[in-house]
Amino acid sequence: MTNSVVGAYIRRSVGITSTFIRVLIMVDAQREGSQYHFAWKHDGNREYTWNGANGYCSGLGSGWKGVSIETSGESGFINEIVGDAGLPWVWTGGQRKGRDFSWPSGKPFKGLNWSHTGLTGKRQPDNREPGGENCLAILNNFYKDGVKWHDVGCSHQKSIICEKS
């Protein structure tokens, strides 16, 4: 298996009025050419709206975005992270574009892990909430369905997994 939790720090310099400050970014795991940062391990377990969470990721520096889950292997890896951390839910970088969803990586979206249920018992994505459920979250057995994908209103509050590929 190519997964490894590395606990490595990435250094980047940030220019602020001609003074440079070194910012350390914790890389919590690496897998198949991607680095992952688990926000809850570094921000005091804060929760964010989808926009706020993805802003947290981009604030880490160039190339950091909400996670794009592009293969079944990566889906299993992320599910294991969420399950082992005991998180009830976490944001991804996935967002509705028209009738489908897309990843911030720009790679094709494949619905690899949609839940078979939700609040009303309908298969996901169900776009149930008034105003739409336009953001993709991973819920940890919230509806007794295991660690699965759900479309969720973007104003909900959750932590996030950030990825740099």
Listed by start position, the domains of the chain span 8-164
CA atoms of 5 and 29, how far apart (whole Å): 4
Q: Which is more confidently placed, 30 or 3?
A: 30
Q: pLDDT of 15-70, one tens digit each? A: 444 444 445 679 999 999 999 999 999 999 999 999 999 999 999 999 999 999 99
Q: What angle do CA 130, 98, 164 make, to 5 degrees?
A: 100
pLDDT of residue 24: 64
User: Taking Cα atoms as reference points, which of 9, 161, 152 lies closest to residue 74?
Assistant: 161
Average pLDDT over the chain, rounded to whole? 88
pLDDT of residue 25: 72
CATH fold for the domain made of 8-164: Mannose-Binding Protein A; Chain A (3.10.100)
pLDDT of residue 9: 45
% pLDDT > 70, the chain: 85
CA atoms of 82 and 104, how far apart (whole Å): 20
55 contacts: CB under 8 Å, gap ≥ 6: 48
pTM of the predicted protein model: 0.85
Dihedral class, residue 84 (left if φ above 0, else alpha if ψ from -120 to 50, else beta): alpha
Q: pLDDT of 63-79, one tens digit each? A: 999 999 999 999 999 99
CA atoms of 31 and 16, how far apart (whole Å): 33
